[in-house]
Structure 1
């Protein structure tokens, strides 16, 4: 033993083994620390992800509830501050006007889902109540199950401001939005207010499960529902009203952290188990080496080799992770960078060893060294840093660090560039239109809210332009939606180029835009911008080597001159836009008070028309149609007239568009069809009746069933009924129109094309669609005697009709010269004031009893 080298003597060997074992235990402890750190980081990240999702869900839940509350208040405002409501629900309670005429009745339940509508008079009594769309004799307290006096008093308190008040209440265990507003005349100058306390109109919107589920889908909140009493004061909880007196909502937030833990923790545990197994193997080998003194030198070598292998394995574990590991000394310079540093950053490790960490990384909180120098800094806190990679692009990394006992720091860096970009993209899409990149309604509302908080003045007004494209629908119909999208993108870019920095351009609908101007000093400057906008939009857009032309109409409203709230400003700009379109399009209009009066007048006309259809104020006139060759009457066209008790005879040009826009065209068309067939069934068998079909009526409703019902009720032969349709029916949906027309033909009725020659491609329609006849538009006859072109066109149409075996009818015959020219070109049928004006039913019956042939020949 004495002859052994000093390093291999047993006592020295035993001390070396002890040191090796100690180092091994320290190494295992370090690995355990690394795995614990990784596990803690996973737990922290999972908790942070779940918490973030929880906060976002709570944010969108609050936003959804507030949006619903504002929607109920906005709808209530339109009805409460209305002169007619003041006359019929405050000065006197008129259920006929409110419920029967559906001014404030069942339609609010069908269209908006308001389960309760109540009117409270000055004494606190419920004088009008509609529950679930039905007129009821019930007080609001009995239906709500709680007093409503405080809400009513608050609504009367703000009556002068014409502002609704809202509250959340618990109605039979279900939360509800209750909105109340004092009934005022609004801007109606025809109503004289009385001295009584204002009556109060109350809308109740019960938040049923179906409504909450739809609201959750609209705002991306999963499983939005009413919270049970046992679920209160838990996570994912939103109280309605003060202290939750109106109930509460619950939802199920996403849990990405749970999924992360389900994947990360097993992997970390497996790695830890593998390391423990490695440590156990090393420990056994070290123990075996210590027990064999005669092999001490070989054992030492094996121990050193095992240690080297262990270190290599440790490096492999570190490099297998997605993070890169770093160490710095007390001077903040890198002393170690793992191999993953090169894979992630594309930098060379050797180039950065000895370089300050502040040279590579920077953050919004200052330099990394300043962050590491914060006293009592928690070791589990991370910081986001940025650096420029070798391609010149900015990358984002999350840095974590722990201080080393001998000074300096060691930590990990995780590249989160894609995560940051994804969050930024989600935030952008939540406030911008996906097609054009312009602001959407959410961004528009936030922008307006911010500007109104700054209180715009007359010297520095806030100007809103409501812009709608003209002639855009034919682009989609004729060229396809892809072409329409390209046009919208081009127009959006032009709008953005016309405004200043700080203004806002938003797309709020298919071809609807809103522009907010923040620095327009006077109306002349606004008009100049409108002129530039229309000129820019009217420039051609090239789509697949084809030039497309559109234009625009603009409505203008200004705050605080016109409105002091965002919702009012939007509504007034839309009213002005409606006036611009009515004024001929491709122009602009500033909002004026009388525009609102016209809207009110239109609403009254709509209400009166609804009443007229139900109570027999409509009349049918018949304009005879004659065979030009021999003067015999062959039929008559049914024309609807409205005999209003106060307005007198209302022109169809005035009430037909209203019927088409509001959906009243269906009951109106049913009445015309049934009445015309019933009258015509009493005529001689050789006469037919012609009925006009509106394009809106052709598209909506079960037209075939309605026609069949009219034929069955009147028992008229289907061949004696003719329907006149315009080319607009085919333009909007050619395939669907062709299918409907074939079904009509199978019923046995005739079909004629009205206003022929004024459309885009009437010739192709005549060849494809099953028409029996066509009517020459009256515009060709007005200059028939003075325009050779019009004579040629009429002659060509007659020839075309004969070639296709179609009956050709000329409209608008007003002179003997018209009749002679039509007879000369062998036009088959005609109608017009020269032959006969439209007659009431009684006058038409008298005409049937007379001999028409001699009269016709005498005129000709």
Structure 2
């Protein structure tokens, strides 16, 4: 059909019936030719285009301007069904709606479509209405179109920015909140699980402060890219703002698998980054919560993941933590602990333990690193790792640091003169006024040779005022104190620090010296280069955290001179140090058996074990991935099966493999997994859906025991215990 026909057809024209007659009356002065010219110009201007179909829906006319814009010849339009030429830009539902309207011969407007072929970037808004002859016969559709390409893509970008982070391309806070909300709502009805991971970056602020915000932005882009590679399963990843990220993993409640994912994320994000402004290394901490175990609503699950993240960061950073019902109380108690530190120093609740530093050539102890512990009146003994995280977040960090140096000097004064004591100095303490004077006083009070005190400082001290830092390092050097650059290789420009400061040694952290380090590996080549550099600068190289014989051999071949870690010795008390030194030369051979023993956690707490329909309370003495040692039942035969209730919905099936009097060794049917806090947990927990089906309201798991999940008849009036309780006596760990 021609444009003239489209215009002038009886009642079927674009301007038909009364409208055509009204137009003719209003424009009597215009000829048909002039009208055609005006409409042709309108078409070519792009302001308005025209189209028409026959009764079967095949195109009979399309403005030539449409064909030119789409870059297709007209003969590829005419004769084709409208839906075969254009596809909806608004989803499948709108395409069906257009087909239904045309099939029902109803008017439509505002449909955004794109061509199936040709320039597919073009977006057109179609409107149309059915046309009928004077006798009511259906003639087809007549309609208009307009090029809305720029408007459409502008609106699309605006909508995208409203849902996605403009810097990284990840989902933003609003989209993540909506996705988690809708997913958990749907999953509650389907009784499905969903894990939420909260993550933020460690030491990111230092990158912004030292390399600038442009470097920080580029770093965040690289972090986003690594995150997408690290999680190789269905998930949604979002950046909530700053250096905080969130990951939603549907249909997973296996804490073993989630721990592996979190560990992979941490490992990938801690690898060095190359930026235009320089090289940098950061870390990451991850908190994990699982719906419905740790919360049913979005608010509950996200809060649980937040608490787990807070615990991971307070536990020393660079680690993951699962949420548990005790974390809220733990966070409150931790803040109280920080407030109690002043009393701890005043009331002599702090004490030192030591980790030996060995010469790798002859296994002789050449130094001891002082580690602070706390004998808290209510909490009991707080180990060095936990104490360090408490102290560094406390306002008492300087006071505690000064006490540590003073006490370490005092205790070291009774050791042989060849033995040095090393003390880690927090950056806040180093930068505090009077630090150098406090070191001088500690040495004088203990009458200790300054050469026997080794102060370990991290690269973060160099982020302060350069003149102040250089003056303090220079004063300590003149005093004769030995200086160690701690965690070498985890900062931004370590070589410049070595040239600038009078260090006696460098300590290589676990970023470089990983447990899977082996001889002839690429990592060993890096260590060899570091050791050679240290030797050229007349420095000693120390490797810390050694766990495997493979690490030991690779370090020895690399030229590293000193080592420390659990492969050689556990942390020892001051009394044990004196006892070892009383025997003369102190040598420690590396032993893999020592690591195996260390992995068995020694505990002392009450738990429930279930046999048949009866629940017994016993004492859990130690725990490993593969089994446990319990005490409190008499004469339990081997091969007896128990369900061990570890609390918080954690039920583990176990078999008695050793039994002696009141003590039984258990072997788990399914091994436990790391909980991210140095402890162990079950892979799966009692499902809140199972509790709900038994009549309980659907809610997050409580920290209590779950012995009733074995059928609800435990310890009922008719039940008879098979085993007798025994008085808990002494035992020897199997």
> Would the TM-score normalized by the shorter structure come out above 0.5?
no
Higher helix proportion, which one? 1
Whose radius of gyration is greater, 1 or 2? 1
Higher strand proportion, which one? 2
If asked which structure has higher relative contact order (CA below 8 Å, sep 6+), I would say 2
What TM-score, normalized to structure 2?
A: 0.45
